[in-house]
């Protein structure tokens, strides 16, 4: 049987990672429609992005299973479970997710570059790029909590991840990308 802490972690983390991956995928499908084509080398970057997301998910699944069972020894926080709700994945998997978000921002920028309009800062392509950069930027708040961080400070920044990153900016992003389909 799978322990409750493991199934609960899997449930929450898979939901966040699934939602994140869906928005990332949605943006990748709409980029060629907005910019009227794709830049050279975009396929390799998208493949690398997929690989980073796959490593993040598989690492989180293995780590949150093995960590509470004591199989990771002193590396439980790096590879297992950090112990903060909604930021439960191990620090290494958190870093791979952040790397994926940065790569996503690069892919979106490259894909939108022909359509970006400096004279119209509120044009749709600009807003898509603003949202993607904000999503990656706000994810930085997930790195605040350390084992010795005051609970009030750690919990505030953890909720910043949940509300500002997952809910607010992915919802803003959906307003700009989904209507393009």
The pLDDT value given to residue 178: 59
pLDDT of residue 177: 59
Q: What is the pLDDT of residues 139-150, one digit of tens each?
A: 888 888 888 889
The pLDDT tens digits of the residues spanning 53-67 come to 999 999 999 999 998
CB 108 within 8 A of CB 27: yes
Q: How confident is the model at residue 159, as a pLDDT?
A: 78
Which residues of the chain fall below pLDDT 70?
164-181
Radius of gyration of the chain (CA): 17
Q: Provide the pLDDT for residue 21.
A: 87
As a whole number of angstroms, the distance between CA 113 and CA 47 comes to 20
Find all residues with CB under 8 Å of 165, minimum gap 6, and list them.
135, 138, 139, 141, 142
Question: Given this model, what pLDDT does residue 117 score?
Answer: 76
Give the pLDDT confidence score for residue 103 in this predicted structure.
98
pLDDT for the residue 166: 63
Q: Provide the whole-model pTM.
A: 0.88
> What 3-state DSSP class applies to 39?
coil
b/e for 62-74, b at 16 or more Cβ within 10 A?
Answer: bbbbbbbeeebee
């Amino acid at each position: 049987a799978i322990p409750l802490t493991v199934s609960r972690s899997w449930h929450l983390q898979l939901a966040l990672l699934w939602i994140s991956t869906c928005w990332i995928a949605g943006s990748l499908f709409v980029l060629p429609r907005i910019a009227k084509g794709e830049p050279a080398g975009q396929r390799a970057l998208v493949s690398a992005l997929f690989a980073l997301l796959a490593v993040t998910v598989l690492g989180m699944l293995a780590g949150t299973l093995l960590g509470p069972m004591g199989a990771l020894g002193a590396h439980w926080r790096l590879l297992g479970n950090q112990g903060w709700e909604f930021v439960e994945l191990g620090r290494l998997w958190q870093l791979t997710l952040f790397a994926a978000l940065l790569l996503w921002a690069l892919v979106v920028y490259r894909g939108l570059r022909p359509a970006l309009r400096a004279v119209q800062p509120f044009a749709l392509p600009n807003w898509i790029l603003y949202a993607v950069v904000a999503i990656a930027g706000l994810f930085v708040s997930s790195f605040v909590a350390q084992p010795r961080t005051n609970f009030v400070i750690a919990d505030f920044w953890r909720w910043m991840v949940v509300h500002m990153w997952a809910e607010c900016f992915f919802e803003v992003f959906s307003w700009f990308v989904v209507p393009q389909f």
